[in-house]
Amino acid sequence: MYYEKKEENKVRCLLCPHRCLIAPGKKGLCKVRKNIDGTLYTFAYGNLIAIHVDPIEKKPLYHFFPGEKTLSIATPGCNFRCLNCQNHTISQVYGEEIFDFTKHLSPEEVITLAIQEHIKHITFTYTEPTIFFEYMLDTAKTAIKSGIHCSMVSNGYIEKEPLKQLSPYIEAANIDLKFIDDNLYREITGGTVEPVIRTIETLYNSNVITEVTTLIIPGLNDSKEYFTRIAEELLKISKEIPWHLSAFYPTYKMTDRDGTPALTLKNLRQIAIEMGLKYVYTGNILDLEGSTTFCPECKKPIIERLYYTKKRIKIKDNRCAFCNSLIYGKFQ
């Protein structure tokens, strides 16, 4: 949908900030968009490499219908090249053969599947939903008509116009904010930071329930000074944004360092709370306090979780059941 024709049958893809200039017969950096005789085609549309039912907390989305299940879907491909990608076998497309392993489902068939499974949610996740933009948009538009809620988990690397077109159909999003400087973003992911921050801000201001995840990687973004810079950037958008601090584990091309100590995550969480962020969580470790939602006013636990499941919820009409304060999110 988002590209322009250039001289010599080349095309410029306008979907994500890479803005690939693609010669005839070649693909963009995400490897799922190809220039065929001056027209840009997507190979991703409807070709699912992953279909799972997950707790919505696993995305992670902690402020969006806690305790419910979501039909989680992905096509192959990504516009990042993260050295520590946990899903690299499906996100990094090395050849078109990967599409021999996909299952084709139209948007209508995805909705039918969700209804058959008695699930009221669909999440675009696992790989990068931006690269299957047209399919995500059509599925989300179809879902709304059936009363199904759509959410996405994304690296936030998308251009303004497609995001503007998508946001009315997406009710919640978790965006990865990995670093706060372009040097680390480029070295580890291949992207840059400004478009990601712009996406978080745009979604939040469009009334999409917006949560953010930062993977805390030892030696890269775990120092107090660096971490504080990320927190300051989020605070500029809103202190309401729930922030998930996740533990890194050595994987893929980043096996030169140990995993994140639980104590590091707990300390950083405390720093973020003291800086004014209202909802800060730890992830990928067992930490009951770091998995609990506390009312920012009366400090009482209002959503208790065990791993990815909700145990108890004390929120009524989006308000704390103890002190009546408004809580950010959608809860029923």
- List residues near ligand SF4 by CB under 6 A: 13, 15-16, 18-20, 28-30, 33, 79, 131
CB of 44 to ligand SF4, least distance (A): 10
Is 79 or 260 the residue whose CB approaches ligand SF4 more closely? 79
Tokens of 292: 């609990």
Tell me how far apart the alpha carbons of residues 268 and 224 are, in angstroms, rounded to a whole number. Answer: 7
d(CA 239, CA 231) in angstroms, rounded, equals: 9
Nearer to ligand SF4, 19 or 141 (CB): 19
Q: Name the residue among 260, 180, 181, 187 with its Cα closest to residue 217.
A: 260
The residue among 78 and 173 lying less far from ligand SF4, judged by its C-beta, is: 78
Residue 261 DSSP label = P
Distance of closest approach, residue 260 Cβ to ligand SF4, in angstroms? 29
Closest by alpha carbon to 170, among 143, 140, 133, 215?
140
Rounded least distance, CB 212 to ligand SF4, Å: 21
Q: How far apart (Å, rounded) are the C-alpha atoms in residues 190 and 85?
A: 12
Apex 59 CA angle, 298 and 103, nearest 5: 160
Residue whose CB is nearest to ligand SF4 in the complex, by number: 28
Helix ranges (H only) for the chain are 88-91, 107-116, 133-145, 160-166, 182-188, 194-205, 224-237, 262-275
- For residue 30, the minimal CB distance to ligand SF4 (Å) is 3
- CA dist., res. 130 & res. 125, Å (int): 10
Nearer to ligand SF4, 28 or 283 (CB): 28
Which residue, 33 or 278, has its beta carbon nearer to ligand SF4? 33
Tell me how far, at minimum, the Cβ of 86 lies from ligand SF4, in Å: 20
How far apart are CB 11 and ligand SF4 at their closest, in Å? 9
> For ligand SF4, which is the closer residue by CB, 18 or 310?
18
Alpha-carbon gap, residue 168 to 265, rounded angstroms: 34
- The distance of closest approach from Cβ of residue 83 to ligand SF4 in the complex, given in angstroms and rounded to an integer, is 17
* Min CB(29)–ligand SF4 separation in Å: 4
DSSP category for residue 57: G
* Nearest residue (CB) to ligand SF4, 78 versus 315: 78
How far is 299 from 268, CA to CA, in rounded Å? 19
Of the pair 44, 315, the CB lying nearest ligand SF4 is at 44
Instruction: Give the span between the Cα atoms of 196 and 159, in whole angstroms.
Output: 10
3-state DSSP assignment of residue 9: helix
